[in-house]
Amino acid sequence: MSGSVDLVTNAVGRRVPTVVNGREQVGFEGIGRYEPRGAKAAPPIRSCRDYPESGDKRVPDLKTALHKCGLRDGMTISTHHHLRNGDAVALMALNAAAELGAKDLMWFPSASFPCHEPVMGLMDRGIVHHIEGSMNGPLGRYCSEGKMRGMGVLRSHGGRWQAIQDGEVHIDIAVIAAPTADPFGNADGSHGPSACGSLGFALADSVYADHVIVVTDNLVPFPCIPWQVQGNNVDFVVEVDSIGDPAKIVSGTTEITRSPDRLLIAEHVARFLKEAGIMRDGFSFQAGAGGIALAFVGFLKELMKETGVKARFVRGGSTTYLVDLLKEGLTDYILDGQTFDLTAVQSIASDARHVATSPFTSYNYHGKGNFASLVDAVVLGATEVDVNFNANVNTHSDGVLLHGIGGWQNCLFSGCTILAVPSFRDRIPVLLDDVTTMTGPGELIDVVATERGIAINPRRTDLLDAVKNSDLPIRPIEEIKDEVEKLMGGPPAKARLTEEPVAVIKWVDGTVLDTVWRIGGS
């Protein structure tokens, strides 16, 4: 990072840059305060006259495709992360761009994984200028150490759609890894040797990018049915031997936590839903694929069966545990954002009640509503939570960028947002006076469930009333925090951070919620 950066203090007291990667920013103004103006982004008008009448858009390789897309220095190339840590296509695309001599690219993945570590080399060589998108593990540390020439921009899944839709990020070339596709570019994620389930994260890219390349290892004759990505938005199709490592794309099974503390948290959360009256006929919930969330689904399922309650819909990250609910008639539908294990992939491929969604339907805050606020309860994690219920999912207490936002911010709009977290990890308290990085304002976080008790946000007097006669361990958050601090010998050491911003945390409306600072000592 070069030069000094102007900072402003936003509505939650966080200092944030006024300009990021050359683009002026608006600081977070409060939930629902920022009013967007103007029109959505509009891709160029194309004409069938410039595409093959046969519908066959295949070209021999990614280099040819990128060249035909007019690859130039400074362009933005996007990829999606449905192949997770098994993805081979993002590196193929960036390496092909490198071979073509491109410089200063912006890589715009929906998320990056440890398998993308070689992008550090591409940044060192000047091929990739910076990354906007979640940076996990090594890439996060690279950013935290101030080694990236541009600033990292972390967005939620919905925020990524919003940024593309609103024209904040203009994608020059979208490269879409497709487990199945036809020569016209229709593509689907549920079938083929590299099946990953829904392709929802690639949808905005396909609709808004100037140029779209579909890369597949399972070409089928037109039409590819179903198509989640529409060939009418696609310029070129590239066949490759393999788009990734199936074993890392989906896990064979997803695993419930075995930790007694975490099982206790999961059970508390399930009971809370029942005793607060949220678990009632026709209700809905979202739970991810983490160990606590999976255990929670198991406990909730037992309570639903005991009481004869059925959900209208459940939202995933889908796993075998959600599929079981569907098969046993305990929910009418699964609305699926990403598909985590083989059972879930098979289910979405074959069961019409298991429905692929997209960040547009589920999370985009700049739409005419979205599904997130229709969910009765959501169970999420966090790396830190403070006594004002503000939470952090991006950094740990050392301030190093470690995780993306995912759908986490978007889910906070549910009827009851529950953070299910251990009160400490590796002898470091999770409950604090003030989060290192604010990913979500406490105003939207209703319940923090730990193994030492359940804290309800004082703003939610309705929830406090609903469980006041329960024997659940409802406790003030400060009390739990103090107890943990005593056990751990005090609060965590403050992170040693510089005054140099290396990344920003965007809120769902595109404003800047917080800053990630370069770590000290370099």
Place of tokens 């398998």: 115
Q: How far from 56 is each of 219, 352, 386, CA to CA, in Å?
A: 11, 29, 55
Q: Collect all residues with Cβ–Cβ distance below 8 Å to 159 and sequence separation of at least 6.
A: 363, 365, 405, 409, 410, 506, 507, 508, 510
Number of other CB atoms surrounding residue 32 within 10 Å: 9
Nearer to a second copy, 64 or 259 (CB): 64
Least distance to a second copy from the beta carbon of 229, Å? 12
Number of other CB atoms surrounding residue 453 within 10 Å: 18
Least distance to a second copy from the beta carbon of 270, Å? 23
Least distance to a second copy from the beta carbon of 248, Å? 29
Least distance to a second copy from the beta carbon of 77, Å? 18
Nearer to a second copy, 252 or 282 (CB): 282
The answer for 152, left when phi > 0, alpha when psi is -120 to 50, beta otherwise, is: beta
Q: What burial class does residue 486 get, using C-beta atoms within 10 Å of its C-beta: 0-12 exposed, 13-18 middle, 19+ buried? A: exposed
Cα separation, 455 vs 476, whole angstroms: 5
DSSP one-letter string for 197-248: S--GGGHHHHHH-SEEEEEES-B-SSP-SS-SB-GGG--EEEE-S-SB-HHH
Cα separation, 502 vs 145, whole angstroms: 8
Least distance to a second copy from the beta carbon of 125, Å? 33
Nearer to a second copy, 202 or 212 (CB): 212
Nearer to a second copy, 136 or 357 (CB): 357
Least distance to a second copy from the beta carbon of 58, Å? 13
Least distance to a second copy from the beta carbon of 57, Å? 7
Q: Which helix (H) or strand (E) holds 379?
A: strand 377-380
Least distance to a second copy from the beta carbon of 344, Å? 17
Least distance to a second copy from the beta carbon of 415, Å? 8
| Amino acid letter, 238 | V
Nearer to a second copy, 253 or 350 (CB): 350
Nearer to a second copy, 376 or 451 (CB): 376
Cα separation, 512 vs 17, whole angstroms: 8
Q: For the CA atoms of 191, 195, 199, 201, what is the dihedral angle to 10 degrees?
A: 180
Nearer to a second copy, 36 or 126 (CB): 36
Cα separation, 415 vs 250, whole angstroms: 30
Note the residues at the interface with a second copy (CB under 8 A): 32-49, 51-55, 57, 165-166, 184-185, 212, 221-223, 225-226, 230-235, 282, 312-313, 333, 335, 352-353, 355, 360-361, 364-371, 373-374, 413, 509
Nearer to a second copy, 172 or 451 (CB): 172
Nearer to a second copy, 46 or 496 (CB): 46
Nearer to a second copy, 360 or 517 (CB): 360
Number of other CB atoms surrounding residue 42 within 10 Å: 8
Least distance to a second copy from the beta carbon of 236, Å? 9
Tell me phi and psi for residue 513, to 5 degrees.
-90, -40
| Amino acid letter, 109 | P
